[in-house]
Amino acid sequence: MTGTKLDGCVFCEPPRLSDDPLIVCAARLAYVILNLYPYNNGHLMVVPHRHVGSLSALSSEELMEIGVLTQRSEMALTEAYSPQGINVGINLGKAAGAGVLGHLHVHVVPRWSGDTNFMTVVGEARVLPESLESSAQRLRPIFDTLTTR
């Protein structure tokens, strides 16, 4: 069912792009949204508008836009948070750890030496000194400048 919107998909629901407070950048074929359950401050996801579950199901144009938005996500996170590293990843399928099956998305996670990422696994808790709303307010203006460059 590639390309079909499925009821209940968290990535198909939000694209009332101007209304969703977690979306920090919207483009024609994809958007960038803060992860509601982040591993670190600034944990972003790049999501195609179209409901597709694999890279092979993307059009060349969608793949290009997702690549550009992932690149801009790296730039925005670097400017906003000065991370010591960034994880970029895609989990395809349940066995690979995909939390949302059937709708591909790219995780872009800023990292620091000694960060508390282990808390999610060991303590079943997340440690975030910044609210999602604050993260969005910090990142949106940076994405706006990146879009016009």
Number of Cβ within 10 Å of residue 102's Cβ equals 17
Contact call for residues 66 and 48 (beta carbons, < 8 A): yes
118-143 exposure pattern, b = at least 16 Cβ within 10 A, e = fewer: eeeeeeeeeebeeebeebbebbeebb
Residue 119: DSSP 8-state? H
Active site residue 51: no
Number of Cβ within 10 Å of residue 92's Cβ equals 14
User: Per the residue annotation, which of 43, 49, 103, 105 is the catalytic one?
Assistant: 105
Residues serving a catalytic function are 105
